[in-house]
A = this chain, B = another copy of it.
Amino acid sequence: MTEVPLNELEVGDLVRRLHRRDITAVALAEACLAASARVRNTINAHVALDEGKVLSEARALDEMREGGIIAGPLHGIPVAIKDNFWTRDYPTTACSMVLADAPAGIDATLVGRLRNAGAIIFGKTNMHEWAYGATNASSAFGPVHNPWNPDHIAGGSSGGSAAALAARVVPAALGSDTGGSVRIPAAACGVCGLKPTYGRLSRFGVLPLSFSLDVAGPMARSARDLGALLDVLSSEDSRDPTTRVDRRAAARSATTRLAVLRGEGVLCDEDVGHAFETALGVFREAGCIITDVEVPGLERGFGVWKVIMLAEASAWHARYLESHVASYGEDVRVQLQAGQHIAAVDYLKAQQFRTRLVGRFRELLEQHDAVCLPTLPIAAPAFGETDLVVGTRRISAQDAMTVMPWIANVTGLPAVSIPSGRNAAGLPVALTLMGRPFGEETILDIAETFQSVTDWHTLKPGMVA
Contacts and interface: CB of A to CB of B under 8 A. Distances in A.
A160 interface: no
Interface string A320-356: 0000000000000000000111111111110010000
Contact of A315 (B310, B315, B342, B348): B348
A312 interface: yes
A343 B345 contact: no
A90 to B, nearest CB: 28
Nearest to A352: B315
A314 interface: yes
A318 interface: yes
B348 A311 contact: yes
Q: Which residue of A315, A316, A339, A345 has the most chain B CB atoms within 10 A of its CB atom?
A: A345
Q: Which residue of A341, A342, A344 has the most chain B CB atoms within 10 A of its CB atom?
A: A344
Contacts of A348: 311-312, 315-316, 347
Nearest to A318: B345
Instruction: Please report whether the interface of chain A is mostly helix, strand, loop or mixed according to DSSP.
Output: helix
Contacts of A311: 344-345, 347-348
Nearest to A346: B344
Contact of A345 (B315, B345, B349, B352): B315
Contacts of A344: 310-311, 314-315, 339, 342-344, 346-347
A93 to B, nearest CB: 23
A318 B316 CA distance: 26
Contacts of A352: 315
A174 B341 CA distance: 40
B343 A340 contact: yes
Contacts of A346: 344
Nearest to A321: B345
Interface in A442-456: none
Contacts of A316: 348
Contact of A340 (B341, B345, B347): B345
Nearest to A307: B344
A340 B341 CA distance: 12
Nearest to A342: B344
Contacts of A310: 344
Contact of A349 (B315, B341, B343): B315
A232 B341 CA distance: 46
Interface string A190-203: 00000000000000
A138 B352 CA distance: 29
Contacts of A342: 343-345
Nearest to A319: B349
Contacts of A318: 345, 349
Interface in A275-293: none
A209 to B, nearest CB: 13
A316 B345 CA distance: 8
A345 B342 CA distance: 8
A341 B343 contact: yes
A343 B341 CA distance: 7
B347 A347 contact: yes
A339 B315 CA distance: 18
A88 to B, nearest CB: 24
Contacts of A339: 344-345
Nearest to A339: B345
Q: Ordered nearest first, which 9 A-B pairs have the shortest CB separation?
A: A315-B348, A311-B344, A344-B347, A342-B344, A315-B345, A344-B344, A314-B345, A340-B345, A315-B349
Interface of A: 310-312, 314-316, 318, 339-349, 352
23 contacts: A310-B344, A311-B344, A311-B345, A311-B348, A312-B348, A314-B344, A314-B345, A315-B344, A315-B348, A315-B349, A315-B352, A316-B348, A339-B344, A340-B343, A340-B345, A341-B343, A342-B343, A342-B345, A343-B344, A344-B346, A344-B347, A347-B347, A347-B348
Given A311-B345, A318-B349, A347-B347, 10 more contacts: A310-B344, A311-B344, A314-B345, A315-B345, A339-B345, A343-B343, A343-B344, A344-B344, A344-B347, A347-B348
